[in-house]
Amino acid sequence: MEPLERYRPIIDDFEAFLEACRRPLGNAVRINTIAASVERTLEVLDSEDVAYEQADWNPRVLRLETDSPGSTWTSFHGMTHGQEEVSAVPPVVLDPQPGERVWDACAAPGGKATQLAALMDDRGTVVANDSNLGRISALRFNAERLGATSLAVTNRDARNYSMKPFSFDAFDRALVDAPCSCEGTIRKNPDALDDWSEGYVDSVSGIQKGILRRAIQTTREGGTVVYSTCTFAPEENEAVVQHALDEADCRVVDVEVGLEHSPGLTEWGDEEFDASLEDAIRIYPHQNDTGGFFVAKLEVTA
């Protein structure tokens, strides 16, 4: 928990935050509406006596009262997919529409990419990319298991992503769920902070800036880009969005989501960020009994 001490000045009720970080996380699943409606999935869970609690902010997110959410009939039939509750937030914020062209720049293992496809009623094009070949197999496995026919999977470096293979030259929306120091996953992976260092935070923030810049470039004017991480470090969050504001054509717009959250920061150490960063959101584990997340929504202006 040591590395988290640096966030004491920015987190309200820091002791409750630490306390929540020490508690293991429950089992959350997302209903895959490509396979079955919310109503039908709940019918099956009821008939199989699997207890659940539906998230207030999203009827497609359930907390399951079972130790093995992967060994249920709903999972076997692809009606449910194990996915942390906060990890379902960025696709909802991106709000993709049926028929659109959408890029998921860092898509493996595919929970969010298949959620994007489901939000589009599996109509349109979701280009799910990941630079890590080893993780592509998990992405493909999940896409097939969940029946996402609108997904095209690529294996390239998102920072200099080429549009050449496709028949269109811009996306309507892009999700950058960036590789990060994963501080917010501490409840799921108790060793998430073992290799934490400021050096890693700084080096990964360079990668994040490159991916977000490319996502803005490949999205049409008026299109939407969502930037998210599962970490608290401002170097990987507000500072990355600030870099995009400085270097690319975009502005920060308000994130609306029915989960308790804190606003994005406008300063960290001796760095100051644009006032619009307050419209980004920080979700802390003690606020909704989930993992931690940062989400910023950008509109592409040229």
Partner 1 sequence: MADESDAEEAVANGADGDLEQNVGQRFDRLPATPAERTVEGRVSREEVVDYFADRFGIPPETFDDYTFWEKGAGKIWIYAGEAPTPLSIESLGMTCLRTRQEHWKPTTDFVQRVGRHATDCVIELEREQARAFAAGEDQALEWDGDWGYLIAAHELAGGLEPLGIGLYVHGELRSMVPKGRQRDL
Which residues contact partner 1 (rule: CB under 8 A)? 34-35, 40, 43-44, 46-48, 70-73, 75-78, 101, 122-126, 136, 140-141, 143-145, 147-155, 165-168
d(CA 10, CA 265): 8
Within 8 A by CB and 6+ apart from 159, the residues are 207, 210, 211, 213, 214
Classify residue 122 as left (phi > 0), alpha (psi -120 to 50) or beta: left
Q: 136 or 296, CB closer to partner 1?
A: 136
Select which of 21, 106, 230, 250 is catalytic. Answer: 230
Q: Smallest distance, Å, CB 138 to partner 1?
A: 10
Q: 21 or 127, CB closer to partner 1?
A: 127
21 is catalytic: no
Nearest to 277 by CA among 220, 240, 238, 225: 238
Q: Smallest distance, Å, CB 87 to partner 1?
A: 22
Q: Smallest distance, Å, CB 65 to partner 1?
A: 17
Burial annotation 45-73 (CB, 10 A radius, 16+ → b, else e): beeeebebeebeebebbbbbebeebeebe
Q: 149 or 189, CB closer to partner 1?
A: 149
Q: Smallest distance, Å, CB 58 to partner 1?
A: 22
Q: 47 or 269, CB closer to partner 1?
A: 47
CA torsion sign, 167 to 222 to 92 to 267? Answer: positive
The residues that are catalytic are 230
